[in-house]
Amino acid sequence: MRHAPIDPALFTANRRRLVQLLPPGSVAVLHAADTLPTTGDGTLRIHPASDLFWASGIEQEESVLVLAPGAVNPAHREMLFLRQPNEQLATWEGAKLTTEQARQISGITKIRWLTEFPAAIHALLCESDAVYLNANEHERAATEVESRDERMARQLIHRYPLHRFERLAPLLRRLRAVKTPAEVALIRKATDITDAGLRRMLAALRPGVMEFELEAELTAEFVRRRARMAYEPIIGSGNNTCVLHYIENDQACRDGELVLVDVGASYANYASDLTRTYPVNGRFTPRQRAVYEAVLRVLRSSIARTTVGTRLLDWKRAAQAEMAGELVTLGLLTPEQAAQDSADEPACKQYFMHGLGHSLGLGVHDMAPVDGPLAAGWVMTVEPGIYIPEEGLAVRLENDILVTENGPVDLCGHVPIEPDEIERIMAGHAAGGGRV
């Protein structure tokens, strides 16, 4: 693993929280993610299954975690199944986890080889009534490709048709939404790395630089700090700022334009997600600054509303109503258009057409109850924007916010966002020659 070791107490506590929700006579099974093919005999780098990692800290392919809190044999109540290391695997793929290494990472005592799984699960099911199986139930998930979890579900349902099969995802959705202090510390680490990457990138920002050159600066800083990209970075200048999911990053940044940078580091599989919008030449035009400050005001107000008990639909709706007023001030809406604002037809939707934010954690769009309510321990992104294609101009700003009983805590409060501060930093880089 690239990241520093994590105290296994985190994963032990997470398993304890999960088994407390399982009824008597239950067995829960979590799988690693598949290794996905590219072309020929190529494969993608494995992306650890978030649920398995949350419960065990294990990132190795083909791993299986079985939780059976009521098992007759206490040694079978937590079992982790792994590929057995051998010389051929070591030669072609590198060293695999030993039993002792797996214990140190996960805090699980009973480590078994994957070849033992069929007999072990059969023995457990003979003394159990219900099986909790996992699936990707994110509301925006693409499910065209069958996962290891789904293949196992099909096999077990066929072999044990008289057992009761239950969904594990709703339990994990509730649990994963609330981050422990150890998880928040990892998200803070990811935001700190993102901040370092953005500061490095700013030293290279100037008229004529290519969007992919800015991406290269971010990537270099992330890798140097034992992190990776949490998602495909969006680095769009000029008209590209208005494309919400622009990832080509292949155009030149021109004098007088803005560049929108939506990027986040992933550290120990915990994601950050920040967006900043910068003037390519180091100075905002009056129009750019007016739009920027309007978005910043909505960001500040929305952060203040990220509080315990808030429903997400109400949270988004308040931002839409506020944005409509800002758009009137900017001359983009008439007062009459703003007066027609409603939940079904937000007046701002032509210029602010996306959501206000999402849960953040082991996923960039992390698992959480769809409408909340927000609870202490949630981490939410807040990301209002204004997009004006006819002017080739857009501004989006995004910070990551921890919900607490004492109010919202901005995990990105140290990342420069005030327009005067950004201009001052960029002027300093220009005076010093910037990055060569």
How many other CB atoms are there within 10 angstroms of residue 67's CB atom? Answer: 24
Which residue among the candidates 217, 273, 322, 341 is catalytic per the annotation? 273
CA gap 127, 123 in Å, rounded: 7
Q: Identify whether 270 is a catalytic site residue.
A: no
Cα 425 from Cα 160, distance rounded (Å): 64
* 273 part of the active site: yes
Give me the catalytic one of 15, 148, 365, 400. 365
Cα–Cα distance list, 436 to 170, 221, 397, 429, 433 (Å):
51, 15, 28, 11, 8
Catalytic residue among 41, 100, 144, 345: 41
What spatial distance separates the first Cα and last Cα of the chain, rounded to whole Å? 32
Tell me whether residue 366 is one of the annotated catalytic residues. Answer: no
Point out the catalytic residue in the list 254, 283, 289, 354: 354
Residue 278 known to be catalytic = no
Q: Is 354 a catalytic residue?
A: yes
From the candidates 262, 326, 341, 410, give the one annotated as an active-site residue. 262
Active site residue 358: yes
Q: Which residues neighbour 63 within 8 Å (Cβ) at sequence distance 6 or greater? A: 31, 32, 52, 56, 80, 81, 82, 83, 114
420 included as an active-site residue: no
Indicate which residue of 59, 112, 358, 400 is catalytic. 358
47 classed as catalytic: no
Catalytic residue (choose from 149, 192, 341, 398): 398
**Measured CA distances, 214 to 217, 273, 393 (Å):** 5, 17, 19
Active site residue 245: yes
> Of 215, 217, 396, 400, which residue is the catalytic one?
396
Torsion-angle region of residue 331: left (phi > 0), alpha (psi -120 to 50) or beta? left
Using the structure block, give the residue that is written with the tokens 């969904």: 167
The one catalytic residue among 215, 383, 400, 410:
383
**What element of type H or E holds 290?**
helix 286-304
- For the chain, what's the residue count? 436
Residues recognised as catalytic: 41, 245, 262, 273, 354, 358, 365, 383, 387, 396, 398
